[in-house]
Chains A and B, each alone.
Chain A
Amino acid sequence: MAPLSLSEITVPGLFTVVRVEGDGVSVIQLKRLGICEHQIIELVQIGNPAIVRVAGSRIGISRIVIESVYVEPYLE
C-alpha cells in the first residue's frame, strides 16, 4: 500500500511516518517535534488545523503542513 498524505486520512489512528517532504521552517518544526521518518504518530483530531500526538504531546498542525507528511498505518 502506497503511503498516504496525512491530510488524506479520514479516520484517526496510529501511523508510521514514511517521509516528510519539503524543507521549510514548518517542516523543520515538524521534524524536531517528532514527526519525522520512522516515528509513530497518532492522528487525534481531523480538521484544519489537525491534532497529532507524538512523543508524548499533542501538536496542532495546519492542513497545508500535514499535506507534506506521508504515513502508513502502524502495524504492531
Chain B
Amino acid sequence: MKLSSAIAHRNIVIVGNPNAGKTLLFNRLTGLQAKTANYPGVTVDFREATAKLAGESFQIIDLPGLYSLDAISPEEQITRDFLTGAANAEITSPDLVLLVLDATNLRRNLFLASQVLELSLPVVVAVNVIDVARSRGIDVDIDSLSSRLQCPVVAVSAKTGEGIRKLEEQLVKATRSEELISEPLPSCTSGCKGCHFAARHDWAQKVICDSTSKVSSTSTVPFEMDRLLTHPVFGVVTFVLLMLFVFYMIFSFATLPMNLIDGAFTALGGWLREVIPSTKSRPAVWFGVVMMCATVCGLLICYAARIRFTTFRTLVLLAVATTVSLLPAKELQSLLADGVVTGVGGMLVFLPQICILFFFISLLEDSGYMARAAFVMERIMRCVGLPGKAFVPMLSAHACAIPGIMSARVIENWRDRLTTILVLPLLTCSARLPVYAMIASLLFLGSAMKAALVFVGAYLLGITAALCSAWLLKRTILPGEAIPLVIELPEIRWPSLRNALLTLVDRAIIFIRQAGTIILLISVFLWVLASYPQLPEKDAANILLQHSGENTAAQRLAQAEIEYSAAGRVGRFVEPVFAPLGFDWQINIGVMTSFAAREVVVSTLAIVYGIGEDAAENKTTLIETLRRQKRPNGSPVFTTATSVSFLVFFVLAMQCLPTQAVTRRETGSWKWAILQFTFMSCLAYLASLATYQLCCLWGLG
C-alpha cells in the first residue's frame, strides 16, 4: 500500500466510525511503535506502525474515521481511497481490512459495514467496547453476526485488552488462508428503487435484530446531565469553566518544566562557549572534527525532516558542513550558542504546554465531551462564519499559537479549518507578554491598574482582530458559510489515560521534529543576519579603547556590532517605511530580529540602546533607559504615541517564524503561511500607522 515501510510487510488497515475506538485498538495492537505519516499531497495525517501479531510482522494503518464511503471530507476521502485503491498511484488495495464496530451502537456502525463488506476485500470485524455493551445488558451473538456479515468477527475491548489475542490470531489466519476470505456481501441496496441510505439502515436494523438481545443502547449518562452540557447557557458556562481549568493546569504544570528546559538550554549555550576553544590550535584536526559533526547533524536533520537524498542535496550538505568547518572558532561558538541553541531552545521551551494541552484535548475527545463543546459554541462562532469547534484552537492559541494551529484539526471542514489557522496568531500568546509588560511599564510605570488596562486592551484587540479577520476571510478569499452543524454526540464515557499519553507523545514528536529541522534552519539564518558583516577589528578596538575603564564597554561593542550587521543595515534601510509609525531605526532592528520569536525584541532593544542583554532582565533599568532615548531633533523616542503604536504592531504582527512553519505543515503549503504573514504584517502596519497618527493628532506624540 504505500508509504514508508508498507512494501515490506502485509498491511492491515483499520477502518470504522468516528468514536468506534479505532485508535485505541490501533494503540493496543501496536503499542509505542506508531508514527504519524502524511498522505501524499494533502495534510491529512494517519498513524502507521509495524507490529508483530501472533509472531508475524504486519504494517498496520489507522485511517481517519468515517460514517460511510460517501466521503464528504478530505479525511473520509482518504479512507475511501485506501479501501478502493483509487486516486493515487502509490496506493494499492490493503491485504486485510480490520473493521471496528462499536458494540454499544451497532446499528450506526453497521451502515459503514454494509458498504465495506461489498468491496471484495478480505475483512475481519472487531466488535469493540464489548465490556461496556455487556454491562448495559447488550448481548451480541458473535457467531450469528459473523454469519450475517459473512466474515470473521471477534469481540474485543481495546481499553481492557479483552479478546485482543484472539483478534491477532484471527488477523494472521485471515491473511494466511485464502479460503477464509469471504465472498463480498451482496449489496443490501440491490433492487432498491428508493433511498439507498434507508435501505442500508433497514439492513442494519435487521442484522441487529438477528444478532443482539437489545436493539438499541441507551446512554448511561443521566439525561439531565447531558441536557446541562448542551444547554445554551449552562453548556457555555460549563465549557468556559472546563477550558479555564485546562489552561490553569497548563500554566501551573508547565511552568516548572519550561523553566527547566530554558535553564538547560542556557546552560548548554554556556557549556558550548567553554568547551569550544577560542582559537584553532590544530586547524586540520579542527576542520576534520567539525566537518564530521556538521555532516552527521545534517544527516540527522534530513532524516528527521524525511528529506530524500539526491546528488544536489548531498553537495549542498557537504558545502554547508565545509563552510561551518572553516568558520573562525569564536564564530562557531556564537553560531552554536546564540544561533542553534538559543533558537531551538526558544521553541522547545513551549513543549510542556503543548504536551499538557494535547493530553487534555485527547481526554476530552475520548470522553465524548468535545462534540458537546462544539455543539454549545456553534451559535456564537457562527456569527463570524466559523464552526463551534473553532473555539477550542482559539482558546489554545492564547497559550501559544502553535498548539492552537495543531489542534485546529478538530475542525473537519477544510475551509473552516484554514480560516481558523490563518487568524489564530492574532490572539495574544504568552510570548507577547514580555512586550506588553515593557510597554505597560513605559506608559504607566507605578500604576498597576493602568498597566493592567494595557494588557486587557491588548488581549481585546487580538480577539477582535481575529474574529473580524475570520469574518473578512469568509467573505473574500475563503467564501462560504461554515458547514452547518450535524454532529454525533457520542455517549459520555471514561477516557483512556493510555490513549491520551500516546497522543501526547505523538504530538510531542511532531513538535520536536519541527524544532529540529525548519526552526533550526531559521535560527541559523537569523543568526547570520544579526552577525554579518562583522564589525572591522579596527573599529571594535576603537570602541573598546573609547570606553576602556567603563563597565559598559562590552555593551557598546555589542551595540556597534548589531548596528553594523545586515539586520542593523536593514533597520536603517527601512527607517522611512516605519517612521510614520513612530519607529526609529533602532526599534526597526528589534522588529527585524524578532521575526523568529517576538519576545526577542526586549533583549534586542536592550542591546541596540546600549543596555546589554543581561540588563533586559532588570525591567526598571530597561524602562528608564528607553525613556531617556532621544531622536536626532531632541524629542523623546518612546512617547505615548510611539509606545501605543509599538504595542499595536506587536499585538497584530506575525512575528513568530515557528508559527509560520507549523502553518505550512498544517496547510500543506507555504502559500497560506505567506498569506498569513502578509495579511498580518499589513494589518499590523496599518493599525499601528493609524494609532500613531491619531495619537499625534491628539497631542500624545
Contacts and interface: CB of A to CB of B under 8 A. Distances in A.
Interface of A: 25-26, 28-34, 36-39, 45, 47-49, 51, 55-62, 64-65
Contacts of B563: none
A57 B375 contact: no
A64 B111 contact: no
Contacts of B374: 60
Contact of B108 (A30, A37, A57): A57
Contacts of B9: none
A59 B197 contact: no
A58 B483 contact: no
B378 interface: yes
A59 B488 CA distance: 4
Given A38-B198, A39-B201, A45-B227, A59 B487 contact: yes
A51 B484 contact: no
A25 B490 contact: no
Given A36-B201, A62-B486, A64-B484, A55 B195 contact: no
Nearest to B485: A62
A29 B491 CA distance: 19
Contacts of A57: 105, 108, 488-491
Given A51-B489, A59-B486, 20 more contacts: A25-B72, A31-B195, A32-B67, A33-B67, A33-B486, A34-B201, A36-B198, A36-B201, A45-B227, A48-B379, A49-B375, A49-B379, A56-B216, A57-B108, A58-B489, A59-B488, A60-B371, A60-B374, A60-B486, A60-B489
B194 A37 contact: yes
B685 to A, nearest CB: 38
Nearest to B104: A56
Interface in B669-696: none
Interface in B315-355: none
Nearest to B217: A56
Contacts of A55: 105, 107-108, 111, 201, 204, 216
A31 B216 CA distance: 19
Q: Taking each of B202, B230, B490, which has the highest tally of chain A beta carbons within 10 Å of its own beta carbon?
A: B230
B483 A25 contact: yes
A34 B201 CA distance: 7
Contacts of B378: 49, 60, 62
A36 B205 CA distance: 14
A47 B231 CA distance: 10
B383 to A, nearest CB: 12
Which of A26, A36, A47, A55 is most buried by chain B, counting CB atoms within 10 A of its CB?
A: A55
A60 B119 CA distance: 31
* Contact-size category for B: 35 or more
Given A32-B70, A34-B201, A47-B232, A56 B486 contact: no
B167 to A, nearest CB: 24
Contact of A58 (B70, B194, B198, B488): B488
B197 A31 contact: yes
B68 interface: yes
22 contacts: A26-B484, A26-B486, A28-B72, A31-B197, A33-B67, A33-B488, A34-B107, A34-B111, A37-B195, A37-B198, A38-B202, A47-B232, A51-B230, A55-B204, A56-B105, A57-B105, A59-B488, A60-B485, A60-B487, A60-B489, A61-B487, A64-B484
Contacts of B232: 47
Contacts of B217: 56
Interface of B: 67-68, 70, 72, 105, 107-108, 111, 194-195, 197-198, 201-202, 204, 216-217, 219, 226-227, 230, 232, 371, 374-375, 378-379, 382, 483-491
Contacts of B379: 48-49
Contacts of B484: 26, 61-62, 64-65
Contact of A56 (B107, B194, B197, B371): B107
Contact of B485 (A32, A33, A38, A61): A61
Which of B68, B105, B198, B484 has the largest number of chain A CB atoms within 10 A?
Answer: B484
Contacts of B197: 31-32, 36
A37 B230 CA distance: 27
Contact of A32 (B111, B382, B487): B111
Contacts of A37: 194-195, 198
A25 B3 CA distance: 30
A32 B198 contact: no
A33 B204 CA distance: 12
Identify the interface centre among B197, B226, B230, B232: most chain A CB within 10 Å of its CB: B197
B93 to A, nearest CB: 23
Contacts of B230: 45, 51, 60
A45 to B, nearest CB: 7
Shortest Cβ-Cβ A-B pairs, 3 listed: A62-B484, A31-B197, A56-B216
B486 A30 contact: yes
Contacts of A62: 378, 382, 484-486
Nearest to A48: B379
A34 B485 contact: no
Nearest to A64: B484
B107 A29 contact: no
A47 B236 CA distance: 15
B85 to A, nearest CB: 22
A39 to B, nearest CB: 6
A36 B195 contact: yes
A58 B198 CA distance: 18
A34 B219 CA distance: 18
Nearest to A34: B201
Nearest to B69: A32
A2 B491 CA distance: 34
A39 B216 CA distance: 14
B17 to A, nearest CB: 10
Contacts of B105: 55-57
A8 to B, nearest CB: 17
Contacts of A32: 67-68, 70, 111, 197
Nearest to B387: A62
